[in-house]
Amino acid sequence: MILLTGVAGFIGMHMARRLLAQGMVVVGVDHLGPCADPAIKARRLAQLRHAPGLCFFQLDLAEADDVETLFAEHRFECVIHLAAQTGVRYSMEHPHECVRNNVVAFANVIECCRRHGVGHLLYASSSSTYGANRSMPFSEHHGANHPVSLYAATKRSDELLAHSYSHLYGLPTTGLRFFTVYGPWGRPDMAPMLFAHAITQGRPIQVFNSGRMLRDFTYIDDVVESIARVAERPAMSNPAFDPAQPDPATSHAPYRIYNVGNQEPVALGDFIAELERALGRKAERVMRPMPEADMLATCADTRDLQQAIQWAPSTPLATGIGHFVRWFHDYHA
């Protein structure tokens, strides 16, 4: 049995679909909180409701007693922890909520994984942990200790907690640093949805740094595939890498961190142009300066992950945007 947290979220919903299609029994948890638009969460959940094999609990993972009860009542072989308060800007407006949902909730989950003998904790981290790291592509072998946003700091905190649990208790943990995931059922606070809404309604879009920011846009199906493959192989003999302590002799075997990205950064301006093509409408651009908590560029080095699970992203940007736009029209029909 698998515990999937953040099941009403963008990646969580797709992940649930994938696991259920494989015939897995999934316990899905989400608190359906106010961040990242509750309306779309309800509609994502409605997509999953009739799937046999899914048991949904509305539960706040920051409440330690509720998490303990959940683990006491089920026997989870694997936990896929995707729940988080997402969004760099939202984290700055809601700092306490961010720490509560991203660090306290993670601490509750990992402690229960230890106490209840979970075989593998797989959790979502983020490209934002690389922060002020300017050498591209970002490698897990370079430091990620200078986050430039509160959101990124909470994600890095989770990685450090995971390291200590792996080291102290031998709990197998895998952190996946996702790079700007996009696709159908995407988050309303992220660029593809914000832009698609504005363009179709004839409203201007805000473009930071003249559209020169580079993002390693990664299609949702590629991300889900990577999670599924990692979840299938908890006991890989590949020695774990510790970004804080890159000496393999001191790395602890069950602790792993991998980048999940497309390895092809795209300028935001080019992304918008592709979206305009797919929507068949032009955007009116309003130029804005670069926000301080944003990163100028992201690009994943995914060689470690490719070696570990023979995975490579396979969805070109134009194809991914095409799928997204078709879904966007259906969703708003």
Choose between 123 and 255: whose C-beta lies nearer to ligand NAD. Answer: 123
Check residue 17 for interaction with ligand NAD (CB under 6 A).
no
> Is residue 24 a contact partner of residue 231, using CB atoms and an 8 Å limit?
no
Q: Would you count residue 180 as binding ligand NAD (CB under 6 A)?
A: yes
The answer to whether residue 302 forms part of the interface with ligand NAD (CB under 6 A) is no
Q: How far is CA 49 from CA 7, 14, 71, 282, in A?
A: 11, 13, 22, 37
Place of tokens 């999937």: 4
87 with 151: CB under 8 angstroms? Answer: yes
Span from 2-10, 112-120, 193-201, 296-304 in contact with ligand NAD (CB under 6 A): 2-10
Task: Give residue 11's identity as a one-letter amino acid code.
Answer: I
Residue nearest ligand NAD by beta-carbon distance:
9
Residue of 123, 130, 151, 165 marked catalytic: 151
Q: Are strands 214-215 and 266-267 parallel, antiparallel or unpaired?
A: antiparallel
Contact status: 62 vs ligand NAD (CB under 6 A): yes
CB nearer to ligand NAD: give 156 or 251: 156
**Whether 219 is catalytic:** no
Phi and psi at 332, nearest 5°, equal -100, 10
| Binds ligand NAD (CB under 6 A): choice among 17, 20, 31, 302 | 31
- In angstroms, what is the minimal distance from the CB of 32 to ligand NAD? 5
Shortest distance (Å) from residue 247 CB to ligand NAD: 28
Distance CA 189, CA 201 (A): 16
**19, 79, 124, 228: which one binds ligand NAD (CB under 6 A):** 124
Nearest to 213, CA basis, from 294, 132, 286, 130: 294
Within 10 A of 76 (CB to CB), how many other CB atoms are there?
Answer: 21
Longest alpha-carbon distance in the chain: 58
Distance CA 273, CA 296 (A): 19
Question: Which DSSP helix (H) or strand (E) runs through 257?
Answer: strand 255-260
- Give me the torsion for CA of 105, 110, 111, 113, rounded to 10°: 130
**Total number of residues binding ligand NAD (CB under 6 A)?**
29
By CB under 6 A, tell whether 226 contacts ligand NAD. no
Convert residues 84-123 into a mask of x (bound to ligand NAD by CB under 6 A) and - (unbound): xxx--------------x---x------------------
Closest CB to ligand NAD among 166 and 180? 180
Contact status: 268 vs ligand NAD (CB under 6 A): no
Residue 37 or 284: which CB sits closer to ligand NAD? 37
What is the Cα–Cα distance from 225 to 183, expressed in whole angstroms?
14
Report helix, strand or coil for 194: helix
Q: How far is the CB of 78 from ligand NAD (least distance, A)?
A: 16
Q: Candidates 187, 215, 252, 256: give the one binding ligand NAD (CB under 6 A).
A: 187
The residue with tokens 């608190």 is 31
With CB under 6 A as the contact rule, the residue among 18, 33, 208, 211 that binds ligand NAD is: 33
**Residue 191 CB, nearest approach to ligand NAD (Å):** 10
d(CA 324, CA 330): 10
Q: Please report where in the chains the tokens 């393999």 appear, as a residue.
A: 248
Binding stretches for ligand NAD (CB under 6 A): 6, 8-12, 29-33, 36, 41, 60-62, 82-86, 101, 105, 124, 126, 178, 180-181, 187
Catalytic residue IDs:
151
